[in-house]
Amino acid sequence: MLMKLKTTFTSLLLATAVVAPVKADEGMWLLPFLKQQNSEQLKKAGLMMDIDDIYNPDATSMKDAIIIFGNGCTGEIISSEGLILTNHHCGYGAIQQHSTVEHDYLTDGFWAMDKSQELHTPGLQVRFIDKIEEVTDIINKAVEESGDEMKAFNTAFLSNKARELAGEEFLAQNPFVEVVIKPFYGGNRFFMFYMTVYNDIRMVGAPPSSIGKFGADTDNWMWPRHTGDFSLFRVYTSPDGKPAEYSADNVPLKPKRYFKISLGGVQENDYAMIMGFPGTTNRYYTSWEVKEMRDIENATRIEMRGVRQAEMLDEMLADPAVRIQYASKYARSSNYHKNSIGMNRGIDKLDVIGTKERQEEALRQWSATNNHPEYIEALDEIKTVMEALAPINLAYCQLNEGIRMAIECSQVPATGALKKALQDKNYAKVDTLIDVLRGKYAQFANKDYSRKVDQRVTKAMLKAYKAAVAEGERFAIYDLIDKKFKGNIDRYVDEAFKTSIFASDENFEKFCKKPTVKALEKDLLVALRNAFVDKYQEIRAEARPLDERLTKAKKVYIKGLLDMAGDTPTYPDANFTIRLTYGNVLPYSPADGVEYSYFTTQRGILEKEDPDNWEFVVPARLKELILAKDFGEYALPNGDLPTCFLSNNDITGGNSGSPVINAYGELIGAAFDGNWEAMSGDIVFEKELQRCINVDIRYILFIIDKYAGAKNLIEEMDIVREYRPNIKHTDIFDEKAFREEMEKMMKEFYNEENLKK
């Protein structure tokens, strides 16, 4: 019996060592501090490569394969010929840009079978990070000399300082290099980034939206997922390898670094890290700021975008041309509409406000004990300012979400300078301003603008805004509607879209040929724009001094948190600068009796299929491959095809398209979403619940190879086919804690009663 007990105990220990989940090391970590702050934890989590190979300021490293894709996503280089992998939703605008009713790449997908078929995408840029420098002392000195503390947060001031530090001669010799300085830790530290910009980016491949957006709004932020959220682009350079504007003579980029791709797949507990450009987090928010986000910002967004999206979707479903025009606009709007719903749910369900209040009380106690009254004063100031800002922020959010973000015609071109030139009879200036107006009009009435949709949305949003905002607090367009249209919003909108100089190309050309002050003064859309701008400026002027007080108090508050943390590694809020997050491949349990696996397969695609619901249509070719189980080398050992997997990496918006990397630096997937149960993660990281949803690289390659037949793309990738363990299980546990647990278990097994037996 004693031997049996010993055997049981030993088996239990081994089982525990193998399957114990590894908690994520919360954080979006700055690359220059990885060795100093994260070296030990990276190895414990399972990293098998040298940290210098992740980031090395003096040599090529993994950082050099990561790019800013467009204006708000991440991408990675996956071949020696500059091939880019990012999300489908990140490439969505470019895919839409190339789509027409005749060539509907959103619906049908697009694949270049050789480089001559790749499509130049005007306006699309990518940026590589060349160098990162800390400039805290320099900025602090310059701010002190200026006598204005707010200079530290002034974009123009920081931009000028960056140019000064880089040197005008250097920038003149390197026209495709950008330099930017950004504040971190609430303005307590500053870093400068050198970036090389590439302007010749070509679309290479994109699955149809039925794959790339499978599940659409319903599945957004949800698990399990079966979405092939990826697209492919390529960077081109001049023949000498330098950044250049588009030219038919340009050649594919020869990158400093690119990712090898692993077909080994993932297993539970495998190490996983993500490098990318997380956009914005608010981990240093106070309880009062969280309440404002929940009750004002998110609540207003939920209400207003719900109205707008219903009107847009009806028009999109009724007209294929409108669907293409508004696909990207609708996707952006609905993404953060659902995000706000989930975040408010998480704030309440996970007691985020209570967590913040306990953190604030801890700082008060620590400050009192350690003689730091300035941190207590900062907390009191934040509370006072947030209470004063509440009604101002509500007015701003209502105007922003109800009018600016929703009603496109509220952003018609400005005509104030033209009106004054006409009044002054300065006809030379009038001619110049008319040329400027033509350019602005072309930007406004572009190919993705539908007056029919805007007219319908304008009616709905003016009514929604009126219902939400008390009389006397609305912007002045309602005075005009009451006076000239007896309060009838529909009549006002119909007349505006009939008579305004911006209501049609014909109206605009007629005005440009014979511009008059009278035409501008009676124009109903010009009146809408001017009334909106006046109210916006009024609100911002009221908020500005309070915002400055809040910024100064937050800087002191965050310094207090850093002082209280002492030597404990800390990370700054995300601000769309390059970061690393690391953790492991893990399942999770969102509720009692609910257990989610860490991966999905093709089985779920057919389980979700609904030919009558545009969100869950399965393309015929994909269904044929699934039914035949024709998955090639991308299949699991049991014959299934992996589609997506979970990791507990700490990500947010901006990380979309980021590479998911195994312990050896190989690509295993692309991050594309977070999970519904932890939508408050931008404010507080939830260790047990927060998950990153990733599309498995094997599903990506399957779609490229077996579905699209684009073997030319597969052939240019460097593919590693064997699986290697991604975690060092012996490094999981803290030794002291492990020994204590062992002693406890031994006492339980080797008690007096068992020994007698």
338 close to 462: Cβ distance less than 8 angstroms: no
Confidence of residue 25 (pLDDT cuts 50, 70, 90): low
pLDDT at 2: 32
In this prediction, residue 5 carries a pLDDT of 33
Examine the residue annotation and report whether 656 is marked as an active-site residue of this protein.
Answer: yes
Q: What is the pLDDT of residues 183-202, one digit of tens each?
A: 999 999 999 999 999 999 99
Assess whether 229 carries a catalytic annotation: yes
Residue 746: pLDDT band (50, 70, 90) is low
Tens of pLDDT along 100-119? 999 999 999 999 999 999 99
Q: How confident is the model at residue 722, as a pLDDT?
A: 82
Residue 389: band (very low, low, confident or very high) from pLDDT cuts 50, 70, 90? very high
**Given 25, 64, 79, 89, the catalytic residue:** 89
Inter-CA distances, 748 with 668, 745, 751, Å: 42, 5, 6
Q: Check whether 10 has a pLDDT greater than 80.
A: no
The DSSP secondary structure of 191-253, one letter per residue, reads EEEEEEEE--EEEEEE--HHHHTTTHHHHTT-SS------EEEEEEE-TTS---S--TT-EE-
Write the pLDDT tens digit of every residue in 706-732. Answer: 999 999 999 999 999 887 776 544 444
Q: Indicate if the pLDDT at residue 12 is higher than 50.
A: no
Q: CA 743, 745, 748: angle at the middle one, nearest 5?
A: 110
In angstroms, rounded to a whole number, what is the distance separating the alpha carbons of residues 332 and 344?
19
CB 577 within 8 A of CB 182: yes
Amino acid, single-letter form, for residue 186:
G
Instruction: Give pTM, 2 decimals.
Output: 0.88
What mean pLDDT do residues 378-392 have?
A: 98
The mean per-residue pLDDT over the stretch 301-319 comes to 96
The mean per-residue pLDDT over the stretch 637-651 comes to 97
Q: Which two tokens stand for residue 33?
A: 């501090």
Give the number of other Cβ atoms within 10 Å of residue 256's Cβ.
14
Q: How far apart are CA 162 and CA 165, in angstroms?
A: 5
Asked if the model's pLDDT at residue 596 lies above 60, the reply is yes
Tokens for 221, please give them: 């932020």
Is a pLDDT exceeding 50 seen at residue 17?
no
Catalytic residue among 262, 656, 658, 680: 656
* Structure token pair of residue 636: 């699991």
Burial of residue 727, with CB atoms counted within 10 A of its CB: 0-12 exposed, 13-18 middle, 19 or more buried:
buried
Give residue 653's Cα distance to chain centre: 2
pLDDT value at position 678?
92
Domain-by-domain residue ranges, the chain? 2-20+733-756, 29-125+199-281+581-730, 287-563
Q: How far apart are CA 43 and CA 34, in angstroms?
A: 12
Instruction: Count helices and strands (H / E) in the chain.
Output: 28, 23
Q: Which residues pair with 234 in a beta bridge?
A: 83, 202
Three-state helix/strand/coil letters over 469-525: CCCCCCCCHHHHHHHHHCCCHHHHHHHHHHHCCCCCHHHHHHHHHCCCHHHHHCCHH
pLDDT digits 0-9 by tens, 38-51: 999 999 899 999 99
| C-alpha triplet 399, 400, 401: angle, nearest 5° | 100
SS (H, E, C) 526-566: HHHHHHHHHHHHHHHHHHHHHHHHHHHHHHHHHHHHHHHHC
Buried b (16+ CB within 10 A) or exposed e, 117-138: ebbbbeebbbbbbbebbebeeb
Least confident of 12-16, 282-286, 445-449, 578-582: 12-16
What's residue 531's pLDDT? 97
Looking at per-residue pLDDT, the higher value among 19 and 83 belongs to: 83
Q: What is the dihedral of CA 152, 157, 158, 164, to 10 degrees?
A: -130
Return the H-helix or E-strand segment holding 100: none
Residue of 229, 573, 650, 696 marked active site: 229
Other residues' Cβ atoms within 10 Å of the Cβ of residue 595: 9
Question: 98: burial class by Cβ within 10 Å (0-12, 13-18, 19+)?
Answer: middle
User: Residue 277 in contact with residue 74, Cβ under 8 Å?
Assistant: yes
Report the candidate in 689, 684, 594, 651 with the shortest Cα–Cα distance to residue 351: 684
Q: How far apart are CA 733 and CA 742, in angstroms?
A: 12
Long-range contacts of 615-623 (CB under 8 A, 24+ apart): 615/213, 615/214, 615/215, 615/216, 615/217, 615/218, 615/219, 616/214, 616/215, 616/218, 617/210, 618/210, 618/214, 619/208, 619/210, 619/211, 619/707, 621/707, 622/210, 622/211, 622/707
Q: For residue 15, is pLDDT > 80? A: no
DSSP state of 76: E
* Active site annotation includes 450: no
Question: What's the pLDDT at 734?
Answer: 54
What does each C-alpha distance from 240 to 118, 201, 243, 252, 525 come to in angstroms?
20, 17, 9, 11, 50
User: pLDDT digits over 346-369, tens only?
Assistant: 999 999 999 999 999 999 999 999
